Amino acid sequence: MTSRVGFFTDTTLCIGCKACEVACKEWNHVPDDGLNFLGRSYDNTGELNADTWRHVAFIEQPALAPATGIKWLMSSDVCKHCTRAACLDVCPTGSLFRTEFGTVVVQEDICNGCGYCIPACPYGVIAKREPDGRVWKCTLCYDRLKGGMTPACAQACPTESIQFGPLDVLRGRAAERVSELHGQGVTEARLYGDDPNDGVEGAGAFFLLLDEPEVYGLPPDPVASTHRLSSMWRTAGTAGAAFALGLAAAFVGRRS
């Protein structure tokens, strides 16, 4: 059994170079997304979508010392490859599947463009590519993994902000990094997506942040839309059985 792998992104090391975005596009042949400056930041991609599988966020904040003007928060976002992946749960064709590495991948030749996975994702990662009509997202470079290679984005990152490896190893490394930063007085450092008891049962791509998740455009409490699917079906089944018994009783009572 192959151990589960993923990403740990240490945002304190991100310099906003976007080498990860470029490497992702080059390796995966992801189309140009327009390169439009959005008027609110130096960010030119804005968010994850079918043509942006890695997105480096540029977040400007007032500096603690007014003389320095502003401070920057930067983070390279990506599909979270959730343990409880709602996109996978709702896919009717089997296009989305869990790989032997624990990642979640779209098989574009099977995708029928129904779009059920789009609202199911609590992170807003999956999107359709127009006029293609099918959905696309990060594959965590599945083809590279099968060849024993590191995903393109992590390979290209010059500061090792994006770290790839077995998830259990990365979680240990991340906890040590948070302790180190706290020891240096950076008390705002925190991990996001590493908790196996959260609404997606832990992510395969988690982050070290220096502010609240919302500042980075991340949901504070992500929950898989299918989290209670089994209990919903049980409730529906019980209600249906009760309804059927009620009809039967009414029918018997009427005949008698």
Together in a domain, 49 and 172: yes
Residues 251 and 208 in one domain: no
Q: Are 100 and 208 in a shared domain?
A: yes
- The answer on 206 and 89 residing in a single domain is yes
pLDDT of the residue at 2: 75
Contact present, 203 and 223 (Cβ < 8 Å): no
Tens-digit pLDDT profile for residues 61-94: 887 666 666 788 999 999 999 999 999 999 999 9
Do residues 146 and 51 share a domain?
Answer: yes
What domain range is 148 assigned to? 5-225
Same domain, 57 and 132: yes
Q: Answer yes or no: do 165 and 204 share one domain.
A: yes
Claim to verify: residue 172 and residue 230 sit in the same structural domain:
no
Confidence of residue 233 (pLDDT cuts 50, 70, 90): very low
Q: What is the mean pLDDT of residues 227-240?
A: 49
Counted domains in the chain? 2
* Cα–Cα nearest to 19, from 76, 81, 79, 78: 76
Same domain, 164 and 85: yes
Domain match, 191 and 235 both: no
- For residue 94, give the CATH number of its domain: 3.30.70.20
> From the CB of residue 57, how many other CB atoms can be counted at a distance below 10 Å?
21
Strand partners, 58: 74
Taking the alpha carbons at both ends of the chain, their separation in whole angstroms is 63
